A and B are shown apart, each in its own frame.
Chain A
Amino acid sequence: MNAMTQDGYVTADGRQIGPVVMELKNITLRFGGVVAIKDISFDIRQGEIRAIIGPNGAGKSSMLNVISGFYHPQDGQVIFKGQPRPAMKPYQVARLGIARTFQNIALFDGMSVLDNIMTGRLNKMKAGFLSQAIWWGAAEREENENRAAVERIIDFLEIQNIRKTPVGRLPYGLKKRVELARALAAEPNLLLLDEPMAGMNVEEKEDMSRFILSVNDEFGTTICLIEHDMGVVMDLSDRVVVMDYGKKIGDGTPAEVRSNQAVIDAYLGVAHD
């Protein structure tokens, strides 16, 4: 990594990273007496791929849930685009342009792939339902525009052949891809991926890595992802936060993190011995 400035930095592969979009300041999250996240601070910059890694139960998913509004921390601030964000419901966070996927896949099983992805654009649709009834033409045009955008994403993620298939019938790996498509359909400023490669075979993992990189490359989407698989994370991400037992034990480029003694002790040592 080149010198970090206020405005950003240039990555090893020459991509310009912008200013901070999302800053988490001294976040503490408790469930009753259990501390899931303890005083964690880090930031996510415009255009970068930021990873959060750590062993099972380290609090990674909780962190993502804090960012997406599913959990509300007892202490600390979430600062989005320079403004402290008040406690918000998940749907309000989504409307700010923060899209996410889930570790266990949350799709609408009864709907087709196409309809699932269309739900990602619900917030892009302006027309109320009365005006949809009265101004049929305008509603239809809007529908077509959204449809076109969704088709682009479908092409991009190479799922043309399953467009009409009900999601409930798809294999696991494809479901993960449809979920990514739905998140992308919202054209998010910040994309949160909760273990996008969990439970996949090597080939599926490679596909998913390729998609994540090209999403970042083509749309310039800022991505924050949680991953288990160290190898994948190191290849994908620009900067990595390492968590263990709810605490942050490392933060920096993959190379820096890899040589961090605390990380080696807590994570690599345990996982790869």
Chain B
Amino acid sequence: MGIQNGQVPFAHLINATFGTSLHHFGWTVPAVLAVALTALIMVLLAFLIEKLVLQHLVGQEPIILFMATIGLAYFLEGLGDVMWGADIKALDVGLPQGISDGIEAVTGQWFGYGFFIDRLDLWATLIAAMLVAALVAFAQYTKQGRAMRAVADDHQAAMSVGISLRFIWVMVWSIAGFVALVAGIMWGTKSGVQFSLSLIALKALPVLMLGGFTSIPGAIVGGLIIGVGEKLFEFTIGPMVGGATENWFAYVLALIFLVFRPQGLFGERIIERV
């Protein structure tokens, strides 16, 4: 958050409008307080979005909700842009960075060629894998996880066994928010905090199309297939077509899946009920 180093929100806008040259308050906020403030503002924002936008869309078609959330995302992006400027900011949460010498040495011994693996990638993978495992265990073995799966399956039945839909709703959004937070921190550390980070979220869509929108194993397998697929494709076919295939490979793969297996690898079969 900009407030941590005393940045004035909307500095550019204020300066442009009033001809001032405000940029810094001249005071800073400790990191812990900044994080707490951020959390508070996010909760407030979530509340406002629910009250001002989503509440008016209850019972609408999913596509309308989807469009509304995309609009919201662009609005927030623009707001952030105006507030802090669009330059890339470094995020350092203390994860080790740089090429791992150990792996380079070991693989060098094995294959006569050292692999270049970024330490940050290793750590990020480890943390992501742990979080994925924790989420799967949560959904599979805990009381709340069971309740969550029950609600996803049948609302009426879930209520009849004593599950509060509202509680599950809040819980699911909180978990999803937490997952987004961790993913955001790691991608942010990897490629700097910038607005093109939202493209990662967009890439979740082809991953979901591959795996099926409602399947947890689908999301995992889909993510791995797209990750490996786009790198391999870039490596093998990329040079022939002038590179930069990573930008579109995932979407083309998703397109092929939409044509031949619209429910994805693990999704429930889509049945038109007439």
Contacts and interface: CB of A to CB of B under 8 A. Distances in A.
Interface in B131-168: 138, 141-147, 149-150, 152-154, 156-165
Given A132-B142, A186-B161, A102 B156 contact: yes
Contacts of A129: 138, 142-145
A47 interface: no
B149 A110 contact: yes
A107 B157 contact: yes
Contacts of B147: 119, 122
A107 B149 CA distance: 12
Contacts of A133: 142
A106 B154 contact: yes
A182 B161 contact: yes
A119 B150 contact: yes
Contacts of A100: 160
B16 to A, nearest CB: 49
B143 A127 contact: yes
Interface in A97-145: 99-100, 102, 106-111, 115, 118-120, 122-123, 125, 127-129, 132-133, 143
Q: Categorize the interface residue count of chain B.
A: 20 to 34
B157 A108 contact: yes
Contacts of B141: 132, 143
Interface stretch (A87-95, A209-217, A264-272): A87-95
A132 B143 contact: yes
A222 interface: no
A122 B154 contact: no
A68 interface: yes
Contacts of A127: 143
Nearest to B215: A110
A133 B268 CA distance: 30
A120 B150 CA distance: 10
Contact of A91 (B142, B149, B164): B164
A118 B149 CA distance: 12
A95 B162 contact: yes
Contacts of A122: 143, 146-147, 150, 161-163
Contacts of A99: 160-161
A61 B185 CA distance: 52
Contacts of A123: 161-162
Contacts of A186: 161-162
A183 B162 CA distance: 11
A91 B153 contact: no
Interface in B150-208: 150, 152-154, 156-165
B86 to A, nearest CB: 40
Contacts of B161: 94, 99, 119-120, 122-123, 182, 186
A92 B159 CA distance: 9
Contacts of B145: 129
Contacts of A102: 156-157, 160
A150 to B, nearest CB: 12
Contacts of A92: 162
Interface in A179-194: 182-183, 186
Contacts of A115: 146
A89 to B, nearest CB: 7
B143 A125 contact: yes
B135 to A, nearest CB: 12
A107 B165 contact: no
A108 B150 contact: yes
B163 to A, nearest CB: 6
Given A91-B162, A94-B161, A99-B161, 12 more contacts: A94-B159, A106-B156, A107-B154, A110-B152, A110-B268, A119-B147, A119-B158, A122-B146, A122-B161, A129-B142, A132-B141, A132-B142
Interface of B: 138, 141-147, 149-150, 152-154, 156-165, 268
Per CB-CB distance, the 7 closest pairs between chain A and chain B, nearest first, are: A94-B162, A106-B157, A108-B153, A90-B159, A123-B162, A106-B156, A125-B143
